[in-house]
Structure 1
């Protein structure tokens, strides 16, 4: 499994958290996601054999939340 932390440029409201989490988990069952409103971070864990971090980043950006940086790690 691969872990990714996406640092967002802006996260304006707590309801945004659910919107992002739902969108990421709809991409594939191989993904789990948690949004941290106060720090503006999204943590995701996914199977890199079926999903790439770039796909998650694009999904977040399409929702209107630009990503400043991404940090990946293997578990």
Structure 2
């Protein structure tokens, strides 16, 4: 399992947090999604054999949110 941290543009409401969490949790190979509202960050674990950080970024940007950077460990 790899760990990804995405720095987002400013989140404007708590429902944004829920929307992002649900969308990422529905992706195959993704576990432990946590959106940090005040920091505008998303932290998650994912199986590199099933998905990758680019696909996860596409999910978030597809919802209309800006992904400023992604760190994978």
The CA RMSD over aligned residues, in Å, is 0.7
Q: 3-state SS of the aligned residue for 1:65?
A: coil
Gaps in structure 2 of 5+ consecutive residues: none
State the partner residue of 2:13: 13
Gaps in structure 1 of 5+ consecutive residues: none
Q: For 1:27 and 1:46, locate their aligned partners in 2 and report how far apart those are by CA, in whole Å.
A: 9
1:59 is the counterpart of 2:59: yes
Give the ranges of 4+ consecutive aligned residues of structure 1 lying more than 4 Å apart after TM superposition.
none
Q: What is the deviation of 1:22?
A: 0.3
State the partner residue of 2:30: 31
TM (norm. structure 1) is 0.92
**Equivalent residues, number:** 72
Q: 3-state SS of the aligned residue for 1:6?
A: strand
TM (norm. structure 2) is 0.94
